[in-house]
Structure 1
Amino acid sequence: MRDFLLAAERLTSRLATAALYIAGAGLVLMTVIVFAQVFVRYILNNSLHWAEPLAVLIMGWFIFLGAAVGIREGSHLSFDVALHYAPGWMKSVFHTLSDIAIGAFGFGMVWYGWLLAEKAASNVIPGIGLSRAFDFAPIIGGGVILVLFTLERILRRAVGLQTLRFGDLVEE
């Protein structure tokens, strides 16, 4: 199990790195699109009809990808006051309970995001002509990797491993 988990950790580490690069590229691309829209609107007195819906779609991707990676690396927001005073064995229990709750939230993102995408699929996003189902793709995609990353965190803790940074495993 431990060897399998170490191999899986390398794979999810690459996935997390790719997600961060995609999120960063999305942030840059969204900024360029918004700048282009402002330039075209106020300097050229025209409008890019596709700029705002595309920027919002890209923003959804970089938000949910970045949040999932933040959860995986333990750098996302958390409330650690009780952990500071808890005995060592209880900290692991609290972290696992937190991961279970986050994984359940990720599962909810996938489930309800899919239901919303099904209901919206017959509509079209004005300006870019894509199905409205694409509006919910970042929620579904982010939920899938959130569940994967929280499952990895729970299993790592179960076999006595903890990740501090990308790829750096240490014994707990």
Structure 2
Amino acid sequence: MRERFKRAGAVTHALSEGALWVAGIGLVSMTVIVAYQVFMRHVVNSSPPWTEAGSIMIMSWFIFLGAAVGVRENFHMGFDVLLYILPPGGKPWLRGISDIAIFAFAAGMVYYGGELALRGWTVRIPVVGLPQTFTYLPIVIAGFLMCLFSLERLLLRAAGENVDDPIIDATVTAD
């Protein structure tokens, strides 16, 4: 069973790394596009119309993909105050509840983001020429990855693997 989890973990790690690379490339690309837009507006006095819409679309991609990676790497927001006062046996339960809440929220992202993406297929973004679906697709992809990553955390925790924050656990047990 643990061997299966290790193989599945290698796949989710590769997905997380790929998403992080795409997000990083998107961040750099958006920065270049915005710099180009500023140069064209203030130096050449002729701003290309596609730069704003393109940079906003790229920004939505790297934000949502980065959020999905944050779920896998346990960098998402949380209320850690309870973890400091709970006994060691209660921490996995609280973290499990957190992962279930993330899974439910991400499933909503997939469902409702999918509806938006399907509705936007016939609508074109005028200055870019792409279907509006490309604006909503990061919601769906990131939601799917968040579901996958939170499910991975739940299954690993159920199998007895340590997927939680060792710093909080060490601080509490040292007191």
2:108 maps to a residue whose letter is G
Within 5 Å, give how 1:1-172 maps onto structure 2: 1-163=1-163
CA distance in 2, matches of 1:49, 1:17: 33
- What number of residue pairs does the alignment pair up? 165
SS at structure 2 position matched to 1:75: coil
- Contact kept, 8 Å, 2:23 with 2:65, in 1: the verdict is yes
Give how far 1:162 is off: 2.6
1:137 maps to a residue whose letter is L
1:120 maps to a residue whose letter is G
SS at structure 1 position matched to 2:90: helix
- Contact kept, 8 Å, 1:92 with 1:157, in 2: the verdict is yes
2:5 maps to a residue whose letter is L
Give how far 1:108 is off: 0.4
> Post-superposition, which runs of at least 4 consecutive aligned residues in structure 1 deviate over 6 A?
none
CA distance in 2, matches of 1:82, 1:22: 35
SS at structure 2 position matched to 1:19: helix
- Contact kept, 8 Å, 2:40 with 2:47, in 1: the verdict is yes
- Contact kept, 8 Å, 1:26 with 1:58, in 2: the verdict is yes
CA distance in 1, matches of 2:32, 2:71: 28
CA distance in 2, matches of 1:122, 1:75: 36
Q: Indicate the percent of aligned positions where both proteins have the same amino acid.
A: 47
What RMSD, in angstroms, separates the aligned Cα atoms of the two structures? 1.3
